[in-house]
Structure 1
């Protein structure tokens, strides 16, 4: 295999992975911003306080990063400005490798969000993936002067169109909702079912006897064994949702939410709630009065803040508290609307796409 063939293979592998990773995150830039906010919090506490000032710009930084992943991947494969592209990819992979190493070694951010919510990797898996990428990009970087810097005109046009298309998709996903929902609360999912483990949970029982260690698929009935630990063999069988809860002064209201017809207006941060479409939400609330559906306002706030907001808006609805992380996972809009029927997600709406009451009632006919 000659050098140019090796360079071409590396370009395909690296560029393809960057395009794949970037497209998944372009689909959900708000999710990327949430992950960046986690990193900025950690770094501001552990490294330097400056990172806290980046939090308000997490969404803009996230869009820049995910669009750059897609565009640089296309440029690498098509051979557009290869030397500059390899430089940019080298800097980007160094940044990503630092993030994943920090996550893994210090166990600070347990999911790097490398592939959004589509593919979950452990912190160490993410780090090893970046090490492989770092090696491949390093080879291209070392031999960058041997890479041809000439490309057909159509390749440059394709890169520009990729930039415009990726940016358009990202903006549309922000102003609406992700085009493809990879989360555990996507349309068609039964939340209470996802809160239950699979019946196929498999454990290995680690036991000791006479100084020796043994592993069993079933708990041994023979005497003389001393129990050490249970090791789960198929973590994918664990509940897909483990942190959902909604409550008020009367206690947990999750079972209430999973019974009958529910329209849930969600807010992950009331102080940052977009008020542009509150009039449309108010009209929806008023139009649903007397309908066979419970309207709930669920927010990551104190009950006093929730009650004050409902009074201010003159909404005669049920107010419930929830965890901010849970609300952000459910809904990539603040506020947003989720339609539930017996705990099954029928539809979700960005506040920009607030539906009519008749459209909602159609789900319950």
Structure 2
């Protein structure tokens, strides 16, 4: 294969990966924003305090990043402003490589969110992936003078259409919910079942006997072995959900949440809750009084703050506390609504799409 053939292949590989990664995150820009908030928190503590100033702008930054990934990938493949596109993609991969190295080396943000919630990579896997991309992009950069400076009008128009479409999809996902839910709390999931291993867990016991390391399927009963570590053989069978819990002043209420019919109103941050659809939510809560369903208000807040909201809205509901990360993982809206039936997620709603009472009751018939 000649040089032009290699350059074309690299454009396809790099552009395709950027489009794939970007589209997954365009589907859920709020998830990318949550990940950026984690980075800004860590950077403000470990690198420089000014990073904290970026935290309120995590969502618009996330939208710019995810839309740019898709558009630059399309421009690279279609040959639009190739030399400038290669420079822009190179700058972006430098940024991503720094993030993934920081995650891997310092073990601070253990999931970079490179492919959203669709494909989970370890921090080092994410870093190595970016290094490979960096090598391919470096080749394009060094031979950018061999790239065409001409681009057909149809390719330019297509890039503009992709820009508008990607931006529109990102905004729609923010104002509603992700089109495709890749999380462990998607509709149809049995949460208590996902909190258990999908199969019995098996371990390899690494022991030291004298100067020799040995691996055993069972912990040795005889003397002379020194324990080194225990390695899980089937990590894919670990619980998909490991941190879910709900509680109040009376204690753990997780089992209560998983029994019977529940309508759960979720808020990850009471100080930033959006009250634009509060009237529709109030109507839903009031209409469900006396129905065979428990309405629960679950928030990442103190019980006192939760009770204040319940009393202010004059709701006859159960108030529960939860971890902020868990609530953000379940619901990409603040507030949002999750319908549960015996622990199974029936459906989730953004507050912009607050359902009618009859629609909710239909899930329990």
TM range (shorter): over 0.9
Partner of 2:322: 322
Partner of 1:230: 230
Partner of 1:124: 124
Once the two structures are superposed, the pairs formed by residues 297-312 of structure 1 within 5 Å of their partners are 297-312=297-312
1:221 Cα deviation from its structure 2 partner: 5.0
Distance, in Å, in 2 between the alignment partners of 1:155 and 1:350 is 36
Distance, in Å, in 2 between the alignment partners of 1:180 and 1:51 is 31
**TM-score in terms of structure 1 length:** 0.98
1:223 Cα deviation from its structure 2 partner: 5.2
Secondary structure in structure 2 of the residue aligned to 1:94: helix
Secondary structure in structure 2 of the residue aligned to 1:80: coil
Secondary structure in structure 1 of the residue aligned to 2:150: coil
Distance, in Å, in 1 between the alignment partners of 2:92 and 2:303 is 43
Distance, in Å, in 1 between the alignment partners of 2:233 and 2:7 is 40
Cα deviation, 1:128-186, whole Å, max 9, x if unaligned, reads 00000011001111111110121221111110110011001100100000000000000
Once the two structures are superposed, the pairs formed by residues 1-365 of structure 1 within 5 Å of their partners are 1-220=1-220, 224-365=224-365
Distance, in Å, in 2 between the alignment partners of 1:301 and 1:214 is 49
Cα deviation, 1:173-225, whole Å, max 9, x if unaligned, reads 00000000000000000000111112242211112223322112233455543
**TM-score in terms of structure 2 length:** 0.98
CA RMSD of aligned residues (A): 1.0
1:233 Cα deviation from its structure 2 partner: 1.9
1:226 Cα deviation from its structure 2 partner: 3.6
Distance, in Å, in 1 between the alignment partners of 2:10 and 2:359 is 50
Distance, in Å, in 2 between the alignment partners of 1:233 and 1:147 is 48
Cα deviation, 1:29-77, whole Å, max 9, x if unaligned, reads 0000000000011111111111111111100000000000000000000
Uncovered stretches (5+) of structure 1, i.e. residues with no partner = none
Distance, in Å, in 2 between the alignment partners of 1:46 and 1:14 is 32
Distance, in Å, in 1 between the alignment partners of 2:197 and 2:107 is 25
Uncovered stretches (5+) of structure 2, i.e. residues with no partner = none
Secondary structure in structure 2 of the residue aligned to 1:170: helix
Please, which moves more after superposition, 152-161 or 334-343? Answer: 152-161
Cα deviation, 1:213-262, whole Å, max 9, x if unaligned, reads 21122334555434332111222211111110110000010000000000
Secondary structure in structure 1 of the residue aligned to 2:363: helix
Distance, in Å, in 1 between the alignment partners of 2:150 and 2:357 is 58
Secondary structure in structure 1 of the residue aligned to 2:44: helix
Distance, in Å, in 2 between the alignment partners of 1:293 and 1:144 is 63
Secondary structure in structure 2 of the residue aligned to 1:364: coil
Distance, in Å, in 2 between the alignment partners of 1:227 and 1:51 is 43
